[in-house]
Every structure is written in C-alpha cells, then in structure tokens.
C-alpha cells in the first residue's frame, strides 16, 4: 500500500509545534537546574524482569527482539534475557541508583527528560510513545519528609513560568497514602488497593456508582462505603482540611497511628505550599493513584479548564522501589507528561510559535550568477548571530518574498539594491558598504542597510512561543 497513514499513538509535530515543545522542554530543564537537579539519561531498554516489578502495567511493555531470533524456533524465551522498552522513567532510575549507588552522593537529585513507550490504546492526550520530564530525590536509607513538599513546589514554579506562553493555570492535587490507608483500615477495610482503585473513578462515574462498587468489589458494607465517600469528598488548600479529616475519622472511631502520621505530613505540605505557591497546591482526599509502590504523598496535576485531559504531572513518595536487599533508597518524584501537555497546548489553539522556521532573514538572489553575493551577505549576518537563509532560486522577487511569507520569515534582504529603499536615505546618498536593502514584509517598509551593522528587532531574531490569538473552545 503506497498510502502513508499516521501511526496512532506516535505523535509527530509540525515544525511550529516542535518549537512550542522545545520551549516547554527548555523551561522545565531550566527550572530543574535552578533547583540543583542534575540531568541524566538512561538507556531505552531494561531487562523485562526489571520492568515487570511494577505489576499490572506489565502487559503494556513493548518487548524487543531481533529478526534473527524469530528464525530460531527452538529458542526458549527467557524472561531475564528479554529486553523491553521502558514505560516510565522511575523504574529505570531506581535501577540506575542501585547500579551507581557507590558513585552517587545522597540525597541525590536528578532530572530526566526522555521518551517512554506504552502499548495501550491511544486516545486524545494518550500516546504509545511520549516524552516525560521527571524530577526525583532519593536518599540513602531514609529521606526527610520536606522533599515531599519541595518536589511539587519546583513543578509549580516550572508551570508558573509557562503561563506567559498561554498555558492555563494548574492545580496540583495532593493526598497521602498513609491517610487513606490508615482511614480504610481504621474503619475495618482490608482491601486498601481495591478501595483506592474505585475511589479513583469518582470524577468519572460519580459517588453513587463508586459506593456500589465499594460494596460489590471491596467487601464494604453501606456504612463503610459512606465513610470512604465522605473522606473522598474532602478537599481544600489550608490546614482546615486536616481538622476535617480528623473529625471524620474520630466519628468513625478510625483514628490509627498511620492516619495520624499521614495527617501530620499532609498538613506540613499544605501549609508550606500555601506560603510558597498560593492557590496551586490543593489537598484532595480522593486522589488515589493506581501504582502500588507509593507510600506517602501522591500527586496529580490538572490543567484548569482541561480536567478531562487527565493528569499532566503525577508522582509520589516511594520507599521500597530501589532496594538491593541490604540498602534501601527511598525517593519522591514527579513526572510531567510533556507530550500530553504539548498536544493540548497545540490542538486547543492555546499556544503557537511566531514562525515555523528559525530564519529571521531571507537573502534574495538576483540571478544565479550573483548567488555568491547573496551567500556573502548571509555569512556576515550569521557571523553576528542572525539566523538567515539564501533564496532557493533566482525567481522573480515577488516569488521570493512569497517564499519568506509562507514560512513567517519577517525580513527579505535584497543585495546590491542600495538606493532603492522606499523610504531609505536621502536621494543620491550612496552607502559605503556592500549593502543592499532590507524589507520588513509585514509592514512593507524597506530601508538601505549594511549586513555588518543592521539587526532585526530583538523580538524578531528568533521564533517566539506566544499565546495563540484564538483558542479553540
């Protein structure tokens, strides 16, 4: 079939979209580095058994094999020899920490921006190949709680820096596994995982159906189901949330040691966030997170007005992910779904780039015999850091201008045309240099200029990422 069809779930942006993505990546990296996170990159593959430690997600792993191996039918498929593409950056990072523990200094703060792969059904904002940007802090043996406060605040800062390009505000929703687990056990429910999974569906199917599911699937009675729903209904951005939860637990006689410990942590987070990033971090007791390795704070981040898109940045505290049996390296991290975020910024018409190419100046070519004059002008401009290109053909100037216009290139340079500027210098005043004239094709203004001294306005030097004029919906 000669027809080329896009592969669903493997997003590719046009040049203009890539400029937006690149800007988002630059802002994230810059913010991470401002906070002292060191960048690393891990290999794209891990042994299958490493990846499967995460549990249920195992079915989503893409396994790697060589064509040649398919021709060896008798070959037993040994799981410990098989390689899979990583489906997140947390598991490879845990492996990396164990492998390099002797060479790292703890607490170790790293950021990691890479593609990951998941074999799921793609949907709007859900991909099979996508970019994640992670920050994590791991300690050796223990990890102070204050990092669970710091991590979301770093992200809040990064998202704050993206507001100026037209990204909507975010809400970082926080919960604490100890609170949830302590409460559920306190009221007599043992299937903590199951309850969390049902609670996670609240936004989609509503409290009635979740209540029914708790009874049917998790062995809860009516009273217990009601208590779980009551807990999940609590949210807020100040310490009153803690009081509320404690009161609810007391009324059900469900105050456990675990619950008390979790509440203390959640309170510290909410209070600190209220001071350092007011309005961004919200305690929300229905945030569950499916992954089973979280042990403390859990986070989810939604774009305000785009809640249906799902979380664009999630993570939490884990205590046993990286352990070699002797030493354990607890950590806390957050992961930005860059592809999901960027796809919405682009498809929602929220953000755009001022042009599709880096080029600020198109140097026109009068005739193929004089192309070298145009090349010379371009070389002088480039030496001064002005991105430029030379016209592809010595076509009529109208056509060359059109070439620039299509790509959003703001300036066209006409070599050796000094004196022809529409509103250029005084009549008869010949410029000294090799010169020419440069036209701003947006306004039509054309002036005589010398490539050794002329420069475009700062805002035209490179493509800028800006709020789009007309958001879709």
Question: Judging by beta carbons within 10 Å of its beta carbon (0-12, 13-18, 19+), is residue 285 exposed, middle or buried?
Answer: buried
Beta bridge partners of 110: 38, 136
Cβ-based nearer residue to RNA, 107 or 122: 122
b/e burial code for range 44-59 (CB count within 10 A of at least 16 → b): ebbebebbbebeebee
CA–CA distance from 92 to each of 98, 267, 321, 335, 379 (Å)?
A: 10, 31, 10, 13, 45
Instruction: Report the residue from 40, 135, 234, 364 that binds RNA according to the rule CB under 7 A.
Output: 364
Q: Cβ 365 to RNA, closest distance in Å?
A: 7
Cβ-based nearer residue to RNA, 2 or 304: 2
| 118 interacts with RNA by CB under 7 A | yes
| 150 interacts with RNA by CB under 7 A | no
Helix then strand count (H, E) for the chain reads 15, 19
C-alpha to C-alpha distance for 81 and 62, rounded to whole angstroms: 14
Per-position x/- string for 59-98, each x denoting binding to RNA as judged by CB under 7 A, each - no binding: -x---------------------------x----------
Residues 333-352 that bind RNA (CB under 7 A): 335-337, 339-340
Residues 428-457 that bind RNA (CB under 7 A): 437, 439, 441-442, 444, 446
Q: Cβ 138 to RNA, closest distance in Å?
A: 17
| 224 interacts with RNA by CB under 7 A | no
Residues 130-149 that bind RNA (CB under 7 A): 130, 132
Q: Residues 95, 98, 101, CA angle at the centre, nearest 5°?
A: 140
| 312 interacts with RNA by CB under 7 A | yes
CA–CA distance from 381 to each of 58, 229, 360 (Å)?
A: 54, 65, 10
Per-position x/- string for 176-205, each x denoting binding to RNA as judged by CB under 7 A, each - no binding: ---------------------x--xx--x-
C-alpha to C-alpha distance for 171 and 258, rounded to whole angstroms: 27
Q: Do 420 and 370 contact (CB within 8 A), yes or no?
A: no
Question: Token digits for 308?
Answer: 């249906």
Of 179, 11, 28, give the one whose Cα is nearest residue 113: 28
User: Of 25-33, 91-99, 125-133, 146-154, which segment contacts RNA by CB under 7 A?
Assistant: 125-133
| 371 interacts with RNA by CB under 7 A | no
Residues contributing to the site for RNA (CB under 7 A): 1-3, 5-9, 56-57, 60, 88, 118, 120-127, 130, 132, 197, 200-201, 204, 289-291, 300-301, 310-315, 335-337, 339-340, 364, 366-367, 394, 396-399, 401-402, 405-406, 412, 414, 417, 420, 437, 439, 441-442, 444, 446
């Amino acid at each position: 079939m000669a027809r080329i069809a896009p592969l669903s779930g493997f997003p590719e942006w046009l040049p203009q979209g890539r400029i937006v993505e690149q800007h988002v990546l630059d802002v994230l990296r810059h913010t991470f580095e401002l906070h002292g996170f060191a960048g690393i990159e891990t290999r794209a593959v891990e042994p299958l058994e490493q990846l499967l430690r995460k549990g249920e997600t195992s079915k989503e792993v893409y396994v790697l094999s060589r064509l040649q191996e398919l021709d060896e039918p008798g070959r037993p498929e040994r799981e410990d020899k098989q390689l899979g593409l990583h489906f997140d950056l947390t598991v490879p990072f845990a492996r990396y920490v164990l492998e390099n523990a002797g060479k790292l200094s703890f607490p170790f703060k790293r950021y990691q921006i890479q593609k990951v792969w998941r074999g799921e059904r793609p949907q709007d904002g859900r991909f099979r190949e996508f970019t994640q940007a992670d920050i994590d802090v791991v300690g050796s043996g223990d990890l102070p709680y204050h990092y669970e406060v710091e991590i979301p605040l770093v992200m809040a800062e990064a998202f704050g820096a993206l507001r100026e390009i037209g990204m909507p505000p975010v809400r970082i929703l926080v919960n604490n596994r100890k609170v949830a687990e302590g409460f559920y056990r306190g009221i007599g429910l043992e299937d903590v995982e199951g309850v969390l999974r049902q609670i996670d569906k609240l936004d989609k199917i509503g409290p009635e159906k979740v209540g029914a599911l708790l009874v049917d699937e998790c062995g809860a009675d009516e009273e217990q189901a009601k208590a779980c729903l009551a807990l999940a209904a609590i949210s807020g951005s100040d310490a009153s949330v803690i009081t509320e939860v404690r009161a609810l637990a007391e009324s059900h006689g469900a105050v456990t040691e675990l619950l008390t410990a979790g509440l203390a942590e959640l309170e510290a987070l909410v209070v600190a966030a209220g001071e350092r990033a007011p309005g961004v971090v919200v305690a929300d007791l229905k945030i569950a997170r499916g992954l089973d390795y979280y042990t403390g704070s859990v986070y989810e981040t939604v774009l305000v007005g785009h809640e249906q898109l799902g979380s664009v940045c999630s993570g939490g505290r884990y205590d046993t992910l990286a352990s070699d049996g002797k030493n354990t390296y607890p950590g806390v991290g957050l992961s930005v779904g860059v592809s999901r975020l960027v796809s919405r910024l682009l498809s929602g018409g929220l953000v755009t780039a001022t042009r599709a190419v880096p080029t600020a100046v198109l140097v026109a070519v009068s005739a193929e015999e004089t192309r070298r004059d145009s090349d010379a002008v371009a070389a002088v401009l480039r030496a001064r850091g002005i991105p430029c290109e030379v016209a592809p053909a010595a076509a009529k100037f109208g056509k060359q201008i059109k070439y620039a216009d299509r790509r959003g290139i703001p300036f066209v340079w006409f070599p050796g045309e000094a004196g022809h500027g529409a509103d250029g210098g005084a009549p008869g005043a010949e410029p000294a240099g090799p010169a020419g004239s440069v036209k701003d094709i947006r306004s039509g203004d054309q002036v005589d200029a010398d490539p050794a001294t002329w420069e475009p306005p700062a805002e035209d030097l490179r493509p800028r990422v800006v709020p789009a004029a007309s958001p879709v919906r």
